[in-house]
Amino acid sequence: MKIQFVVALLCLVIFLHSEGKHQDNGHYKTKAKGHNHENYKSKGHPPKKCEAPCKTLPTTCPVGYSKLTNQRISPNCYLFGGDRIVKWYAALERCISTPGAYLWIPETIEEAEAIRDKFNIVDNDIDVFVGGNNLADNDTYVYAVTNDPFDFDNLPFGEIKDTPETVEGCMELEFNNEGIPNFGWDSDPCSSEEEAYICEFPIAPLC
Q: What average pLDDT does range 162-191 have in this prediction? A: 85
Minimum mean pLDDT range among 104-113, 116-125, 175-184: 175-184
- What is the reported pLDDT for 114? 96
| Burial (CB count within 10 angstroms: exposed 0-12, middle 13-18, buried 19+), residue 118 | middle
pLDDT mean across residues, the chain: 77
Nearest one of 146, 111, 112, 144 to 128, comparing CA atoms: 112
- What is the reported pLDDT for 16? 45
Whether the upstream peptide bond of residue 149 has omega within 30° of 0, thus cis, is no
Q: What is the pLDDT of residues 43-99, one digit of tens each?
A: 233 334 455 555 678 889 999 999 999 999 999 999 999 888 999 999 999 999 999
CA dihedral 79, 82, 87, 90 (to 10 degrees): -40
- What is the reported pLDDT for 30? 29
CA-atom Rg of the chain in angstroms: 31
Judged against a pLDDT cut of 50, whether residue 32 lies above it is answered with no
Nearest one of 110, 133, 108, 109 to 197, comparing CA atoms: 133
Q: What backbone torsions phi and psi does residue 86 show, to the nearest 5 degrees?
A: -140, 170
Under DSSP, the state recorded for 207 is -
Q: What average pLDDT does range 91-112 have in this prediction? A: 96
Minimum mean pLDDT range among 31-40, 78-87, 112-121, 173-182: 31-40
DSSP E strands in 23-175: the ranges are: 66-67, 77-80, 86-87, 102-103, 126-133, 141-143, 149-150, 159-160, 169-175
Neighbours of 202 (CB within 10 A): 17
Nearest one of 61, 96, 70, 66 to 80, comparing CA atoms: 66
pTM: 0.71
- What is the reported pLDDT for 17? 45
Judged against a pLDDT cut of 80, whether residue 177 lies above it is answered with no
| Burial (CB count within 10 angstroms: exposed 0-12, middle 13-18, buried 19+), residue 182 | middle
> Comparing 2 with 51, which gets the higher pLDDT?
51
Q: What is the pLDDT of residues 119-153, one digit of tens each?
A: 998 776 789 999 999 999 988 999 999 999 999 88
